Amino acid sequence: MIKTLPITKAREELTTIVDNAQKKLDEYVITVNGIPAAVIISASEYESWKETNEILADRKLVKDIKKAEKELEEGKGLDWEDVKKSLKLNVQD
């Protein structure tokens, strides 16, 4: 859930805000004079966001992902069990 708080309220409730961001994945927009100035999110959410941006910044990777998605839609994908057998993997999922 995204909540918007003025910075004065955020200062008062910082411990609770951080706890809720970490445990409940709450998101907070902190405003200064009514204008959004910062966002508080969990560290895991931040890392996920950074990773997504890195992927999207790599044009070749995005192109390859789109190509793979199209191939899957066309039924050209391989079954995971067949892949494990062909590679002689003994992997439990």
Give domain status of residue 92, yes or no.
Answer: no
Query: pTM of whole model > 0.85?
Result: no
How much is the pLDDT for 83? 85
91, part of any domain: no
* Residue 31, number of CB atoms within 10 A of its CB: 17
Is 53 part of any domain?
A: no
Domain assignment present for 37: yes
Q: Please enumerate in sequence order all residues whose Cβ is within 8 A of that of 84, keeping only pairs 6 or more positions apart, or say none.
A: 90, 91
What does the pLDDT look like over 32-88, one tens digit per residue?
Answer: 999 999 999 999 999 999 999 999 999 999 999 999 999 999 989 888 888 888 888
Domain with 76, as residue range(s), is 58-86
- Torsion angle (degrees, nearest 10) of CA 69, 72, 74, 75: 180
Provide the number of structural domains found in the chain: 2
Question: Do the domain assignments include residue 66?
Answer: yes
Which three-class secondary structure state does DSSP give residue 41? coil
- Whether residues 62 and 38 share a domain: the answer is no
Bridge partner residues of 49 (DSSP): none
Helix (H, G, I), strand (E, B) or coil at 86: helix
One domain, residues 37 and 62? no
